[in-house]
Amino acid sequence: MTTFLGMPALPAFGSGNLFAGESFPKAAHRELGNAQLRANLGHATHTIRDKRQAVVSELPDWEQLRDAGSAIKESVMARLPDLLEEFEKNFTARGGVIHWARDAREANEIVAGLVRETGETEVVKVKSMATQEIGLNEYLEEQGIQAFETDLAELIVQLDHDKPSHILVPAIHKNRTEIRDIFLREMPGADPALTNDPPVLAMAAREHLRRKFLTAKVAVSGANFALADSGTLAVVESEGNGRMCLTLPETLITVMGIEKLLPTWQDLEVFMQLLPRSSTGERMNPYTSLWTGVTEGDGPQNVHLVLLDNGRTAALADEMGRSALHCIRCSACMNVCPVYERTGGHAYGSTYPGPIGAILSPLLTGIQAEENNSLPYASSLCGACYDACPVKINIPDILVHLRSVDVDSKRGTRKVPSQMDVGMKAASWALSSGKHLGLLEKGLPLGRLAAGRDKKIKKLPGIAGGWTQSRDIPAPPAQSFRDWWAKEHKSAVPSQDNKETQQ
Amino acid sequence: MRIALFATCIVDAMYPATARATVRILERLGHEVVFPAGQACCGQMHVNSGYLKEAVPVVANHVAAFDTADYDVAVAPSGSCVASVKHQHPMVARSCGDTALEARATAVGAKTYELSELLVDVLGVTDAGAQLGSYFPHRVTYHPSCHGMRLLRLGDRQSRLLRTVQGIDLADLPEADQCCGFGGTFSMKNADVSSAMLKDKAANVEATGAELCTGGDASCLMHIGGGLSRQGSSTTTLHLAEILASTMEEPASVTGEVRVSTGKALR
């Protein structure tokens, strides 16, 4: 039993599919061993990367568009409570029903309850990150409700009882032959003569899905944008399956993160330029559906929206990290990321993989949740993600910020300090004075000795062994630059604060 | 011009020839080089590993060493360390609430240049062969390091300088803009992913048929060179300062075990 004291609760962290179940290095080690995965991913990410680059570089005002997108999102985050209330008022006035969900469990219960009210046991689904995040399909299944994914790639993943590995191309880790095999194995009534030709595979999926569209009474969707000034929701998709789900059923239930708001209709023009070029590398999005409440005699007559927090308020409270909420789920960052390209999305555990996942997951769940503290380290900080981000989320800076949150959260909690703690402390002493560093450099000849006859250091102990697993270290020089300089300029230098080290 | 050299800790301790080459280039242009003796490190390793508290004294030391009116501009043969001085130092000072240090760090950052940036933007070097006497008759490929490329926006400054070195045969590196996988402690914490990235970079370097791979950051070059060495490759790495400093009379010094011996071809 808890007693309500009238105090607002601290921002709650998120739950659901937001956790790395094992540390990133461990998961990455396993995924790196999968040669087929590496080949599929390398091919797919390079294709999308090139396509994006081509359509982005043809726009003379691309950088201004990014600035505009970033500024709009910043203003949304600065006045999110007001915009949410404005949206609620307008959405309700047009016949929609708003539900507020604190976390994954609440959102799942609300959706299941709404489906149950209709008496249906099947729903069709539009591809949605929010419902992946809360694990809706699994929850509905427990409640005796079957959810059918209608996006082709989501369908493939669902039929294979697998997890998406990319937010835009969920089956990016599969090649067409693997997809044919999944269809033959799992799709009821699949033609045994099915080939691995993409149009043939698409037609097979189309036939399978068409039956579902025409019979479903309830659809569940996510939303890419919500416009506060009119109470309008928007879904952006490529296959038309979304349009079917959003228009044919009687009941439409949308689950959307509270950060998806835009203040006005006009703001949409910026994002409809940024999103398709960044995500699929297209100039224009193929199917853009917008709906505002209920229209009598046209489309779903029961329209619901579940507004999901699930850690977003906690992320918003992090001054350095809050811009991660600007994300429009385009996936440009993962397509250019050299780490994602090699490990794939499953290594990140959470629904959100790649660079954005490495910051968003720990921001939503708190850094100490499960293995999420390993995610901010899953980057060489090369910065390719920041350059590609259409809303200019400074992912490298937020990664570094979260690393410091992780390190600080562990200060004083360990009985025995970690190797990294000890090393960093020692290095802080050595590198915070020219005198100290100069003193240490006197030991360079020892390193030469350790390097031996072939003048290479091939094995180091402890965490430094990570370096020597694939890299030699050259034998150090006999003399540091500092020493050389001091000898060269002895008479010319009147006073130096590291004098002793130069003798 | 009076130019303060920030050698960077890795060059100071492991690649002194790179710092000596930097001095030679600047002196050849008629400038005076000073070496603030209190300097040690930019502290980037601490910041990027999450040890902000431990980074504070390192940053404070750098600011103290370079916060003088004793020089016109500072230069470092590293894009990454300069980016840290410019972008991270004020942030570190802010994180510990030291506004005075933040202001001083910002001022030092504004006076600090990466080597190619200084040569091209400030000292007006457009032709290394003509203005510096640079001569390096070797097949070379060039890796533009991430922080120089994306944090300092060096663009083609480094490759433009290299192209004007006499005798050089500069081969384009496939997938040049891809990270080599170093990333500081990333190479140890995520050694498997880092190694996979390095393997692809090394393969691209070898595919060019170059004798060596050059670049503007000793740390990335140590990483790429360390990988090539482990794979038994004869290709090696050399900082671009040493290529620019190399002349017909005074060819790139290849003494010291840090360097590969290119002496045979040079003589």
Q: CATH code at A153?
A: 3.40.50.10420
Confidence category of residue A492, pLDDT binned at 50, 70, 90 = low
Q: Do domains B2-120 and B127-266 have the same CATH topology?
A: yes
Please answer whether residues A459 and A471 qualify as being in contact, where contact means their C-beta atoms are separated by less than 8 angstroms.
no
> B128 near B157, Cβ under 8 Å?
no
In chain B, the residue whose alpha carbon lies closest to the alpha carbon of A377 is: B186
Complex ipTM: 0.94
Answer whether A412 touches B (CB < 8 Å). Answer: no
**DSSP at B172:** P
Phi, psi of A335 (to 5 degrees): -65, -25
Q: Does A53 touch chain B (CB under 8 A)?
A: no
Which residues of A fall within a CB distance of 8 Å from B70? none
The residue count for chain B: 267
**Chain B neighbours among A 348-387 (CB < 8 Å)?**
376-384, 386-387
Sign of CA dihedral B193, B196, B197, B198: positive
Whether residues B37 and A434 touch (CB distance < 8 A) is answered with yes
Q: What average pLDDT score do residues A359-377 get?
A: 95
pLDDT > 70 fraction of chain A, expressed in percent and rounded: 95
Please list, in sequence order, all residues whose beta carbon lies within 8 angstroms of the beta carbon of residue A405, skipping any fewer than 6 positions away: A367, B50
Mutate to test the interface with B, among A29, A420, A435, A485 (most CBs of B within 10 A): A485
Q: Compute the distance between CA of residue A42 and CA of residue B175 in angstroms, rounded to an integer.
A: 13
Q: Is residue A306 part of a domain?
A: yes
Beta carbons of B191 and A466 less than 8 angstroms apart: yes
- Other beta carbons within 10 angstroms of residue B138's beta carbon come to 20
Hey, where are the domains in chain B?
2-120, 127-266
Q: Which residues of chain B have pLDDT under 50?
A: 254-267
Question: Is residue A250 over pLDDT 60?
Answer: yes
Burial of A335 (0-12, 13-18, 19+ CB in 10 A): buried
Mean pLDDT, to the nearest integer, of A143-158?
Answer: 95
CATH class of B127-266: alpha beta
CA A324 to CA A362: how far, in whole Å?
Answer: 11
Residue A449 sits at the chain B interface (C-beta within 8 Å): no
- The minimum CA-CA distance between B16 and chain A, rounded to whole Å, is 4
Output helix, strand, coil percentages for chain A, rounded to the nearest 5: 50, 10, 35
Residue A461, domain extent: 440-502
What is the least distance, in Å, from the CA of B191 to any CA of chain A?
5
Tell whether B101 lies on the interface with A, counting CB pairs under 8 A. no
Which pLDDT score is estimated for A10?
61
Q: Following CA atoms A197, A198, A200, A204 in sequence, which dihedral angle do they give, to the nearest 10 degrees?
A: 130
Mutate to test the interface with A, among B190, B219, B242 (most CBs of A within 10 A): B190
Give the pLDDT confidence score for residue B35 in this predicted structure.
Answer: 97
Is the domain of A305 the same as that of A453? no
Q: What is the pLDDT of residue A496?
A: 44
pLDDT of the residue at A412: 87
Say what the pTM is: 0.94
Tell me, yes or no, if A343 comes closer than 8 A to chain B by beta carbon.
yes
Question: Inter-chain contact B9–A466, Cβ cutoff 8 Å?
Answer: no
| Residue partners of A257: CB distance under 8 A and separation at least 6 | A130, A133, A308, A310, A312
- What's B167's DSSP letter? T
Q: Do A480 and B193 touch (CB under 8 A)?
A: no
Q: Is there a contact between B243 and B211 (Cβ–Cβ < 8 Å)?
A: no
C-alpha radius of gyration, chain B, whole number: 18
DSSP state of A500: G
Which residues, in sequence order, are CB contacts of B84 under 8 Å at separation 6+? B42, B43, B44, B47
Contact A436 B229 (CB under 8 A): no
Model confidence over A437-461: pLDDT tens digits? 999 999 999 999 889 888 899 999 8
Name residue A325's amino acid.
L
CB contact at 8 A, B2 and B70: yes
Residue A249 domain-assigned (yes or no):
yes
From B38, B8, B36, B4, select the one nearest B220 (Cα to Cα): B8
Neighbours of A127 (CB within 10 A): 26
Pick the residue of B59, B193, B254 with the most A CBs within 10 A to test the interface with A by mutation.
Answer: B193
- Chain centroid to Cα B11, Å, comes to 8
Single out the residue of B166, B89, B153, B157 nearest to residue B122, CA to CA.
B157
Chain B within 8 Å of A481 (Cβ-Cβ)? yes
CA A390, chain centre distance (Å): 14
DSSP letter for A295, please: B
Taking the C-alpha atoms of residue B168 and residue B247, their distance in angstroms, rounded to an integer, is: 12
Report the DSSP pairing between strands B169-171 and B212-215: unpaired
Number of domains present in the structure of chain A: 2
Does the structure show a pLDDT above 50 at A72? Answer: yes
Which of the listed residues A298, A314, A330 is the one where a domain comes to its end?
A314
Arithmetic mean of pLDDT over chain A: 93
- The predicted-structure confidence for A271-324, as pLDDT tens digits, reads as follows 999 999 999 999 999 999 999 999 999 999 999 999 999 999 999 999 999 999
> In chain B, which residues have their Cβ closer than 8 Å to the Cβ of A469?
191, 195
**Residue A256, helix vs strand vs coil:** strand
What pLDDT, on a 0 to 100 scale, did the predictor assign at position A37? 87
Say which amino acid occupies B131: Q
Is A498 an interface residue toward B (CB < 8 Å)?
yes
Q: What is the total residue count of chain A?
A: 503
pLDDT digits (tens, 9 = 90+) for B181-202: 999 999 999 999 999 999 999 9
Per-residue pLDDT at B253: 59
- Please report whether residue A423 resides in a domain: no
pLDDT at B260: 41
pLDDT of residue B23: 98
Could you give the residue ranges of the DSSP H alpha helices within A94-224? 104-118, 129-134, 136-142, 152-159, 176-186, 198-215
Token representation of residue A203: 């037609």
Q: Is the CB of residue B143 less than 8 Å from the CB of residue B175? A: no
* Residue A337 resides in a domain: no
Residue A493 predicted with pLDDT over 60: no
Quickly state the pLDDT bin for A5 (edges 50, 70, 90): low
In order, the DSSP letters of A147-158 are EEE-SHHHHHHH
Pairwise CB contact (< 8 Å): A482 & B37: yes
Is residue A261 within 8 A of residue A228, CB to CB? The reply is yes
B144 touches chain A (CB under 8 A): no
Q: Is the pLDDT of residue A2 over 80?
A: no
Read off the pLDDT of residues A192-211 as tens digits, 9 standing for 90 and up. Answer: 999 999 999 999 999 999 98
Structure-token pair, residue B186: 């990333």
Copy the structure tokens of residue A36. 């087929």
Question: How many CB atoms neighbour CB B232 within 10 A?
Answer: 6
Q: Is residue A149 part of a domain?
A: yes
Decide if A334 is inside a domain: no
What are the phi and psi torsion angles at A334 (to 5°)? -75, -30
Contact with chain A for residue B233, Cβ under 8 A: no
* Domain at B2-120, CATH class: alpha beta
Backbone torsion region of residue A240, taken as left when φ is above 0, otherwise alpha when ψ lies between -120 and 50, otherwise beta? left
